[in-house]
Structure 1
């Protein structure tokens, strides 16, 4: 006699059930492979490279922590690193201030659902869909000191005295790039803040109105506390993005004779140190020094992001 049907088919049923339960693995594999190749492997390589001396692209003897000491304490890398870190901090604080004020104000207006606001919501979000490289070259043309549309517009409205090479002088180069960066990113926080505002029950605002609160008081004591998780998330994301900033600054920096150090961020300093740009003030092509900068960036971004998430979880409001 043969085996019963339920016995004969048992193995196939078990295998089929296992495949069904773990089918998601097949969908994760391509993403994991790409993430490993373009994120995990470069980060691991940078960590390894930072512990060696380098002669151009040829790895030399083991250096231990010497490259890190050079970045933090030895001239000219010390001045360049701390200067770029200061620019990153200014980049982050300025962008966050613009997003948290203008972005939140626009989101509050869009929440009212007035006629035509859907069009403006789309207009504000469109720059976010553009590549950073495209945005950089677009604003390079708009800000050209000779024929750029921005300076031409200033002359047309009688503000010719304001015309200047915005990217060609130390005083205005970095603030100009910061404003361009905020313009490009503004659509995303508007969308996030709008979703957060729409998630707050109307009963809270109605109760505040019944208690005699003004519009500002209701916003200050009701809306903002309930929006704190969204604000915290946007702060962390903005920090990560701005301390990883590279493309926009790389495209726009140095135009019209502007010195690199006036707009250098950690990302651009890493690139120029690694790939032989002598404007770092040191020897060109320092792979070990550049890798140490990349590792310090990773540690800084990881530590601050972790502390930010922990703090946000402690202050989270449930309703």
Structure 2
């Protein structure tokens, strides 16, 4: 026979909802409502000064009209290259720096960590303008620095050449944000139990061999988080390219990515008249690309990395 104690219903924890409500309202006002408004706006078109529902017509125009499709596919291609360079350079180098700076034998490691992380907190305007000055063939310091080591013949106006502009701006982005993967991996390395390290040393695994065989598998979940943050950040990028190369993302749209393409489409630039509905369609495509990428990571990658967590 059930006792009175067992028949009691569990208490309703109303306080959880009370504490979550302010954050939910703020997130809804700042993120959910603007996102829903953008998705809705992409389904309309301004006809005779009235917003008329046209369904997916804006997306057909984006993919089928050469005036829009050429720019969109060029921006998407450049965005993919921008992401790949950041992924293959920024994250591996950041992991290597974290491994080196986590060594107890390294002196002044705190100073090195601070110096590497400082560019991360700088404004995009400062970074873009500073590197534009540094790499300028007229008044930049890059030619003189290369001349000091006998390599001035290798200098070229990298930001002004179609073949090298995108790679150059990508490497500037790497320089600015390499401190983020470095600090996250450094923090992950500090969470590895001392017993694991001591057991590895007892087995004769030390130095870089210890990092590759013991530490690296244990920080794979953190590397996965860094990878998805890099993906989201790169496909939302805008500020650095706009500051360094302008709204036209020159030369000849060679550094144009989805962010700058969206800016010109929505607000217009020079002789191009802004089309907010097409801009909303481009923003929707950016959202879907990021959503698919994050979904693939959550359902196919993260589940395989859980076995490495403590």
What TM-score do you get using the length of structure 2 for normalisation?
0.85
1:74 aligns with 2:65: yes
Structure having the higher Rg: 1
Aligned residue pairs: how many? 295
Distance in 1 of aligned mates of 2:79 and 2:284: 16
Match of 2:282 in 1: 293
- Superposition deviation, residue 132 in structure 1: 1.6
- Superposition deviation, residue 195 in structure 1: 0.7
Q: SS state of the match for residue 37, structure 2?
A: helix
- Superposition deviation, residue 257 in structure 1: 9.6
Match of 1:218 in 2: 210
Match of 1:134 in 2: 126
Match of 1:12 in 2: none
Distance in 2 of aligned mates of 1:65 and 1:45: 15
Conserved 8 A contact 2:235-2:258? yes
Q: SS state of the match for residue 237, structure 2?
A: coil
> CA deviation digits over 1:291-313, x for unaligned, max 9?
11100111111121122123213
2:233 to 201, 226, 241: 241
Distance in 2 of aligned mates of 1:259 and 1:125: 30
1:112 aligns with 2:124: no
2:305 to 305, 312, 315: 315
Q: SS state of the match for residue 160, structure 2?
A: coil
Worse-matched range after superposition: 148-157 or 122-131: 148-157
Conserved 8 A contact 1:87-1:264? yes
Q: SS state of the match for residue 55, structure 2?
A: coil
Q: After superposition, where does 1:31-180 map in structure 2 within 5 Å?
A: 32-33=25-26, 35-54=27-46, 58-113=49-104, 114-180=106-172
Q: SS state of the match for residue 261, structure 1?
A: coil
- Superposition deviation, residue 128 in structure 1: 0.8
Conserved 8 A contact 2:43-2:54? yes
The unaligned stretches of length 5 or more in structure 2 are 1-12
- Superposition deviation, residue 32 in structure 1: 4.1
Q: SS state of the match for residue 167, structure 1?
A: helix
> CA deviation digits over 1:112-151, x for unaligned, max 9?
1322111111100111111222211221222222001222
Distance in 1 of aligned mates of 2:249 and 2:35: 33
Distance in 2 of aligned mates of 1:89 and 1:108: 28
1:303 to 285, 292, 305: 292
Distance in 2 of aligned mates of 1:50 and 1:256: 23
Q: SS state of the match for residue 61, structure 1?
A: strand
What TM-score do you get using the length of structure 1 for normalisation?
0.83
- Superposition deviation, residue 239 in structure 1: 0.5
Worse-matched range after superposition: 73-82 or 191-200: 73-82
Worse-matched range after superposition: 40-49 or 107-116: 40-49
Match of 2:250 in 1: 258
1:178/1:121 Cα in 2 relative to 1: closer, same or farther (>3 Å)? Answer: same
Match of 2:265 in 1: 273
Distance in 1 of aligned mates of 2:170 and 2:34: 28
1:60/1:255 Cα in 2 relative to 1: closer, same or farther (>3 Å)? Answer: closer
1:303/1:205 Cα in 2 relative to 1: closer, same or farther (>3 Å)? Answer: same
1:36/1:116 Cα in 2 relative to 1: closer, same or farther (>3 Å)? Answer: same
1:174/1:21 Cα in 2 relative to 1: closer, same or farther (>3 Å)? Answer: closer
Distance in 2 of aligned mates of 1:72 and 1:23: 46
- Superposition deviation, residue 36 in structure 1: 4.2
Conserved 8 A contact 1:47-1:292? yes
The unaligned stretches of length 5 or more in structure 1 are 1-16
